[in-house]
Amino acid sequence: MFCTQCGTQLGEAEPNFCPSCGAQLRSPGSGPSFSTNARRLTRSRRDRKIAGVCGGIAEYLDVDPTLIRLVAVLALFCGAGFLAYIVAWIVLPEEELQPMPSPATI
């Protein structure tokens, strides 16, 4: 796979955005990807303990939410974590409500 903007070879990772020029590589509605929305950092509605910040970050990074919470709790002990969480709470938009995807569309 190559970037359509700058021609950088992207390998098999197929990121949503070109790491070289930042061009969006997957436009909504095109390609076989089941995820049509450009990935946005939002507070998760499905996976939340307090405000969904950790769940949202985990969804964004595609990692285990528990891992993010672990880091968040560790950061809390450093002092800056709590403030960072509050800032993220304020800054991050809440995930849009989405109807459950229908299996018939696959």
- Contact residues toward Zn ion (CB under 5 A) are 3, 5-6, 8, 18, 20-21, 23
Closer of 5 and 35 to Zn ion (Cβ): 5
| CA dihedral (48, 49, 50, 53) positive or negative | negative
What residues have CB less than 8 Å from 48, skipping those under 6 apart?
54, 55
Name the minimum Å distance from CB 58 to Zn ion: 27
In this complex, which beta carbon is closest to Zn ion, that of residue 5 or of residue 66? Answer: 5
Q: Which is nearer to Zn ion, 9 or 102 (CB)?
A: 9
Number of other CB atoms surrounding residue 73 within 10 Å: 11
How many H-runs (helices) and E-runs (strands) does the chain carry?
3, 0
Minimum CB–partner distance for residue 4 and Zn ion (Å): 8
Give the residue with the Cβ less far from Zn ion, 18 or 88: 18
Closest distance between Zn ion and the C-beta of residue 18, in Å? 3
Q: Kindly report the backbone phi and psi dihedral angles of residue 24, in degrees, each rounded to the nearest multiple of 5, phi listed first.
A: -75, 125
